[in-house]
Chains A and B, each alone.
Chain A
């Protein structure tokens, strides 16, 4: 059974601080996606990483896929209140099914 564990599960920080979210597994994934979900809404795709060691940047967000394609991280620089939300990682393991982590709930206080 493929599992993705995210840490931390909750984070409350002040505006301007940096943070890193981790997504770990013992399984290899062919690709890994990061989504952001607002309460009562569907997950919104942020990025997909495919190659081991890959780094992608999306404005203040930096995503990295581990060399062995078993883990990923999301780093946010200078967090803003608009970054508040639930950040989900999800892995594709060669089938149609995406395996989701439980998410990291981020609160950025002004």
Chain B
């Protein structure tokens, strides 16, 4: 069964360092997302990406964050200068029709980011 894959599964970094989280969405999906979940809190939307551009972003997704689809398979989230409060589980998701359709998202297993 097709699945969304994410790497790394866990990354520990020092405050102020740049981090890149990688995702391979399901191959025939057109909409790509990043969500995050701080320990014990709700899953929160960060950004959606369609047709090689950001289609929507949340207030969390400030200038320190960027996304890219450098080739036909990978989708990356970059945090330029990490802060302690960026520590969270980051989930990549993909969808055939997107949130304005049925909203069915398929999530990866997550990348746990720990900022020291």
Contact surface of A with B, Cβ cutoff 8 Å: 30-31, 33, 35, 40-45, 48, 50, 88, 90-92, 94-103
Contact = CB atoms under 8 A, between A and B. Distances in A.
A45 B105 contact: yes
Interface of B: 4, 31, 33, 35, 41-45, 48, 50, 55-56, 58, 89, 91, 93, 98-100, 102-110, 112
Contacts, number: 75
A88 B45 contact: no
Q: Which 6 pairs show the lowest CB-CB distances between chains A and B?
A: A92-B103, A42-B107, A96-B48, A96-B99, A100-B43, A96-B56
B104 A88 contact: no
B41 A96 contact: no
B16 to A, nearest CB: 27
Contacts of A102: 41-42
Given A95-B100, A97-B56, A97-B58, A90 B107 contact: no
